[in-house]
Amino acid sequence: MTRLLSVLLFVTILVGSAPATQAQACAPDSPTPGVGVVREAHDLISARFVEPVASSTLLPAAANAVVAEVRKSRPSAQVSDAETWFAGDPAFSWGRFAERYCLAWEARGEGVAPESLAYAAIRAMAASVREAHTGFLTPDQYREHVAWTSTGEVRYEGVGIRLRSEPLRIDYVFAGGPAEAGGLRPGDEILVINGAPSREMTPAGAAIALRGEAGTRVRLTIRRVDVPTPWEVELTRARISIPSTESRVIDQVGYLQIRGFPRPALYDEVASEMAWLNAIGAQALVLDLRGNAGGRLDVGSTVAGLFLPDAAPLYRETTRVGQVTRRAIPSQGLWTKPLAVLVDEGTASMGEILAAAIQEQRVAPVIGTRTAGAVAGSLVLPLSDGSAVQVTVIRIDSGLGQVLNNVGVQPDVEVRTTPSPARNDEPLDAAMGLLRARIAPPQTATVPAPDLTPTPTSTPTSVPVPQTTPAAI
């Protein structure tokens, strides 16, 4: 699913739908479909975004998207260029936008769904603020988001994979899904989806193309590093359910994966898993935060107390008006044995905050690749047609003040996964090697166990963030 193209650190607002805004129209008795919900989204982003954002940023972006959508559906449409929409209107007024929107709607021709122009406009406005936690959710995506925050499980209809982009490739294959049954592997590159080249798609567009009603089929063209030529595979979409946690024991080393922080009950689940690992004699623990796209700040904070020292600073938040709050957490002290943490480009938001705190407090080495750099606090706000906008409302830095957003967490030990027929998990192997060395009995009195305490890592102020789609599809 797209738990918002990259899923996220948020506070969910579960209230009644936002009040419908009076739609502007070409004719008083004929409101233009969709313009009201565009106005709602515009006003919410303007009022709530962490930094003041003007209509002169939002509305030109929306205008460009509307014109592009009309011309994509009907190349011959007589619709004015977006650059002319606000000619002579230095204030970039809503009235001028609504008037031109209505004319574009009339020029669209047949076959354009009522919501298509509105949703294109809202997506463009959200993208114009250039913040990973601000975006648009369709009604289906919003329902899935609400379900995720209430049950903690990702449920969707698709093929059971997680994607990465540039190029579009499979990052993870979920057990029991259509992709696993079809023989797909992590590292496989997806060249074509139902006849459409993937290079022409955004990661979000690819996710939409891969998902669909259970029982329907999707045809993919796949390229694998050890196979001479690409091949086609047809998968039948199915209902997929992915739990928030997974644990097991590997040669006296516990393994705990946390895929997100969706709801308060997650704390009890993680504590129970850790108690079980302790009870069966696990001597060390790998905490796998790869692909963890975040979740609720309060939930992640309580879970962090299972791993961090008492009163350890976890994060700092700055509001739109500049108020700074520092958050520290009480320790639950549940795990005191050796620990290693795995991260990757799909580790985002609350996952990054936890990894950064473990690193800053020198609790454990962080292993893998630089994280997504998508750390901020946001609200998910419903719109009157059942869709929603997610709006960044808080800036969040690490507990010691490191900038994480658009930067990420640099691991102490960088290990990348290399696609191969053997399907090796190099980061997990590296973590297991470090922990086995730590818990192994010394061979002689003169051979000490290696010191796994990570050294402080300097973080640059600006690093290009790779496009990722950590959400499952």
Q: Using alpha carbons only, what angle is made at residue 107 by residues 104 and 111, rounded to the nearest 5 degrees?
A: 105
- Choose the CATH number for 154-241 among 2.40.50.100, 2.30.42.10, 2.60.120.10, 3.30.390.10: 2.30.42.10
Lowest-pLDDT range of 117-126, 137-146, 270-279: 137-146
Topology given in CATH for the domain delimited by 245-472: 2-enoyl-CoA Hydratase; Chain A, domain 1 (3.90.226)
Pairing of strands 161-164, 169-173: antiparallel
**CB 405, CB 396: distance < 8 Å:** yes
**CB 57, CB 45: distance < 8 Å:** no
Which DSSP symbol is given to 199? G
Residue 15 class from Cβ within 10 Å (0-12 exposed, 13-18 middle, 19+ buried)? Answer: exposed
Overall average pLDDT of the 378-382 stretch: 91
Scan for tokens 């998968």, then name that residue.
235
Tell me if 154-241 shares its fold with 245-472.
Answer: no
For residue 187, give the nearest of 236, 233, 223, 237 by alpha carbon.
223
pLDDT in tens, 89-135: 989 999 999 999 988 888 877 767 778 899 999 999 999 998 888 98
Instruction: Give the amino acid at 148.
Output: W
Could you give the CA distance from residue 342 to residue 352 in angstroms, rounded to a whole number? 11
| Angstrom distances, CA of residue 5 to CA of 64, 72, 252, 327 | 21, 23, 37, 28
Higher-scoring residue by pLDDT: 430, 186:
430
Lowest-pLDDT range of 22-31, 42-51, 351-360, 422-431: 22-31
Q: Left (φ > 0), alpha (ψ -120 to 50) or beta: where does 179 sit? A: alpha
pLDDT in tens, 21-80: 333 445 555 578 899 999 999 999 999 999 999 999 999 999 999 999 888 877 777 788
Q: Which pLDDT value is given to residue 76?
A: 73
pLDDT exceeds 70 at position 273 = yes
Give the domain ranges of the chain: 154-241, 245-472
Beta-carbon-side half-sphere exposure of residue 413 (alpha carbons within 13 Å): 21
Element (H, E) at 128: helix 114-128
Instruction: Give the amino acid at 81.
Output: D
